[in-house]
Amino acid sequence: MNDPKSKLRRTMLFVPANSPKMINTADIYGADSIIFDLEDSIPVSEKDTARLLISQALRSLKFNSETVVRINHPTQTPYGMNDLELIIPCKPDMVRLPKVESLDEVELVANYIANAEKKLGFVEGSITIIGAIESVKGLYNAREICRHPRITAIALGAEDFIANIKTQRTKTGVELYYARSVILMAAREAGIQCFDTVFSDLNDSEGFVAEVNLIHDMGFDGKSVVHPKQIKIVHQIFTPAAGQVHAALKVLAAYQTALNNNQGVINVDGKMIDTPIVVRAQRILAQAAAAGIKIDELANVKEEAASATVGKQQKQHVEQHRN
């Protein structure tokens, strides 16, 4: 999954960019992406310090996880363009644009990045943008925002969004269902990834699991997290289980056999298989491979188990005839 629009991003861990300790240890927890935050978690008095710290970290440290920097808004605050000026030469993998509400805001940041890439000799398009929808206006413009060629992903920022619609966060998440659905559909139409908001109540593990299962079932690609202990849970839910991989392998094997034999109807375990099911199977295998699952080994285990079962059945059949 080398394409930025299909890269494995189950978790995006927020790390305050004014904490040297947290920056130095951010990579050890196994998050797929690390978001070094220059925005909400940084007080005004420390904006300059945070910007300098993360620029030095990006230059001097090697991170195994994808590096993302959440800048301050480039027009709603006086800090955003300063963030870009110092951060882009350090070549993060992605810039997170908060509170995006219009295509013009994306264009402003995208043009700055494009000019900097050319000036610095970076590969064109190597630094991408993830936009964060955090208001009703942004939600209504999500479709055109997602279509911008520099946008790799879109995310929901729930706290500001909920404040904007004048309600409060609930355990059911009913207040976010429409927003989640809208940005997900916009992302899928544009062919980009879609990420859910953070779950800030670290003491409510049951609620966290329920929310991760919900957004997984809705079709999201991953979730932003605020604490390392949340990473493992998200990865477990967003990584295909062995049974899913086996089922996907069986579907694709049957599909290939049907193609080879010019068969129009495919049946696997009594279920009719059509193109959407084949596409889902392909996606499961791609996700599994990206997560480090050795698909060939799983396939071999399944074949050995099947052979053992057949052998046992044959032996029983022979013994029955002998008796």
Q: Where are the domains of the chain?
A: 11-238, 242-322
Tell me if 215 sits within 8 A of 184, measured CB to CB: no
Beta partners for residue 129, in sequence order: 95, 151
CATH code, residues 11-238: 3.20.20.60
Phi-psi label, residue 191: left if phi above 0, alpha if psi -120 to 50, beta otherwise: left
B/e letters for 66-83, b = 16+ CB within 10 Å, e = fewer, are bbbbbbbbbeebebbbbb
- pLDDT tens for the 323 residues of the chain, in order: 468 878 999 999 999 999 999 999 999 999 999 999 999 999 999 999 999 999 999 999 999 999 999 999 999 999 999 999 999 999 999 999 999 999 999 999 999 999 999 999 999 999 999 999 999 999 999 999 999 999 999 999 999 999 999 999 999 999 999 999 999 999 999 999 999 999 999 999 999 999 999 999 999 999 999 999 999 999 999 999 889 999 999 999 888 888 888 877 788 887 888 888 999 999 899 889 888 888 876 565 444 333 333 334 334 443 444 44
CA dihedral 134, 140, 144, 150 (to 10 degrees): 0
Beta partners for residue 15, in sequence order: 36
Rounded CA separation 50/191 (Å):
33
Model-level pTM?
A: 0.86
